[in-house]
Structure 1
Amino acid sequence: MLINSLGFRTDLMLLALQGSAIEEHDDYLAVRSPHNPDFWWGNFLLLRADPSSTSVLHWEEAFTREFPTASHRAFGVDGARGGTAAFAEFAAAGYDVEASVVMTATAVHAPPHPNRDATYRRLDLADPLDREAAIDLRMANAPTREPTGHRRFLGESMTSMAALQEKGAGSWFGAFLDGRMVSGMGLFSDGHGLARFQSVDTHPEARGRGLAGTLVHYVSTYGLTALGATTLVMVADPDYHAIRIYRSVGFENTETQVAIELAP
């Protein structure tokens, strides 16, 4: 199946590796993750056509047809888009319309101010200590989420990542100071040239110390060598401060990824 968007192409690559099903229709793809039904972006429609040329009601009916019991709605838009202005009808209907920057690198270099105090290593997600360290870090970066449900969701996500790591499709990594994980991320690939970063996090108390940039460089080197990737893909919020970190090691803006969602 042809997917123009590099961001969604790598999203679907990882979902397929985790066992998600992708079903083609004339004007959209239906993506289903029965192993993780609460994951909105594992259960969504990827719209091939420009959704602004069709009514919101049309897409809502399609979503309900594909996911009759879902309490959320989520639509991805294939192709590189310039922004969110074309999706005003969705916004007026209460949807969050987000435009993220898809960044890529075919080579990387060390950040201008690397952190040499931390220990950088691959995690063993089958080890409860490593697994919980990764989950605790992600919880620290989600202070507004309902803690019980979000920790359960992150646990399910880490179970999926552990399965990918076990089959050699990539790894999760951490930066440690005094034995505490303070920065972390994953990188995974299906072996066909693209490798996608997952959940780049630095603990709020450890930011501004060069940890994320040093770890991104470390993990990128792993991707270009051990994974044999030719292109590394990172998706970032254009307004988030970390985007400059990715640029500092060689990532460049490539396209825009538009995602449209409605919470329960």
Structure 2
Amino acid sequence: MRIEITSDPVEFRARVAGFLERDPLRHTVMYTVVENEITGLTVTEELSYFASVHEGDEVVGVAMRTAGRGVWLGEMPERAIPELVERFAQLLPEIRDVDGSESAALAFAQGWAARHGTTPRLVLSERLYRLGELRTPPAPGAPRRATEADLELCARWVAAMARELENFPLALTESALRARIRAGRWWLWEDEGRPVSLTAHQIPLRGWARIGPVYTPPETRGRGYASALVAHVSQVIRDDLGADVCLYTDLGNPTSNKIYQAIGFEPVFDQILYAFE
């Protein structure tokens, strides 16, 4: 078994394409990150690192560490994790967390703790959902695509969401947010001419488009805006983009899990995030 690590997303995509295509839904986050770096939609001064685990000529696992984030584990044999810990520790001793399946993330966190004298702390449990039969709920108002005139509002709401959530995974520069708005992938729900909720989706890749972020300010919550907007964007993804729809939820937020299941999302896979303290 050997581990190969590169900061070149094109090289990584070519190396692991066949492996990822066996379960594109499981690796929706990795697909998005790699594609955004290749196309220039994500540009940072800090390098990302993409790891592939090989047995002979076969890829058997993947992982990555992107700018400003911890380690994200895709499908990964646990026997490879001790060496993966060592390789990432040599490259990036400042890594602060790991996200993956419960067993793989725990194994990585324990290995990191043993090497660095840290204590793993469970900070987030997530669930990946896929959309089954879509059920569109009623809500006052209507959806519209965000425009560049909404840039300041979208940035302010993303910052507010980051303050509410300890491990909010989205950190966008103004230029990155503008590019996503121009691409038509950010949406607002308006009621009486006033924006009241925000939803975005990622680029469709290998038949899947992932929804997120989803944010409603505290003062307009509880009125069905987010449910209606997610349902609308899901329909657009299916009808206009010809893709299936998925999203992640925080299992610590029973409200979001309930409303997404109510509009047709079905659970697929759970992930755990451990911080190193």
Q: Same fold (TM over 0.5)?
A: yes
Shift of 1:62: 2.2
Structure 2 length-normalised TM: 0.70
Deviation at 1:210, TM superposition (A): 0.7
1:245-260 to 2 correspondence within 5 Å? 245-260=259-274
Q: Deviations over 1:202-232 (max 9, x none)?
A: 1111111011111011111111011111x21
- The residue number in structure 2 matching 1:196 is 210
What is the rounded CA distance, in whole Å, between the counterparts of 1:185 and 1:82 in structure 2?
31
2:202·2:210 contact (CA, 8 Å) conserved in 1?
A: yes
Q: Which residue of 2 aligns with 1:9?
A: 27
Residue aligning to 1:239: 252
Question: How many residues in Structure 1 have an aligned counterpart in Structure 2?
Answer: 236
Stretch deviating more after TM superposition (175-184 or 234-243):
175-184
Query: What is the match of residue 227 of structure 1?
Result: 241
User: For residues 207 and 134 of structure 1, what CA distance do their matches in structure 2 show?
Assistant: 17
CA offset at residue 105 of structure 1? Answer: 0.7
* CA positional deviation for 1:72: 2.8
Aligned partner of 1:140 in structure 2 is 160
Aligned to 1:24: 52
Report how far residue 6 of structure 1 moved: 5.9
C-alpha contact (below 8 Å) 2:81/2:107 kept by paired residues: no
What amino acid is the match of 1:100? E
SS for the counterpart of 1:181 is strand
Name the SS of the counterpart of 1:65 in structure 2: helix
Per-residue Cα deviation, 1:24-83 (whole angstroms, up to 9, x for no partner): 2337535354xxx32x05x655461227x955xx55422223335xx33333336xx589
8 Å contact 1:96–1:260 — kept in the other structure? yes
- Distance across 2 between alignment mates of 1:13 and 1:123: 24
Q: Amino acid of the residue matched to residue 119 of structure 2?
A: G
Following superposition, the deviation at residue 110 of structure 1 comes to 1.1
For 1:181-192, list aligned pairs within 5 A. Answer: 181-192=195-206
Residue type at the aligned position of 2:262:
S
- Determine the C-alpha separation between the residues in 1 that align with 2:96 and 2:238: 36
Would the aligned equivalents of 1:17 and 1:190 in 2 still touch at CA under 8 Å?
A: no
**Cα offset, 1:195, TM superposition:** 0.8
Distance 1:134 1:123 in 2: 8
Matches of 2:133 and 2:240 in 1, distance apart? 14
| Amino acid in the other structure paired with 1:186 | A
Contact 1:17 1:164 in 2 (8 A): no
Unaligned runs of 5+ in 2: 1-15, 39-47, 55-59
1:101 corresponds in structure 2 to 127
1:57-136 pair list within 5 angstroms: 59-67=84-92, 71-77=94-100, 89=110, 93-97=118-122, 98-111=124-137, 114-116=138-140, 118-124=141-147, 127=148, 129-136=149-156
Q: CA deviation at 1:199?
A: 1.1
The TM-score normalised by the length of structure 1 is 0.73
In structure 2, the residue corresponding to 1:236 is in which secondary structure?
strand
For CA contacts below 8 A with separation 6 or more, give which structure has more relative contact order. Answer: 1
Q: 2-side partners of 1:195 and 1:45: how far apart?
A: 20
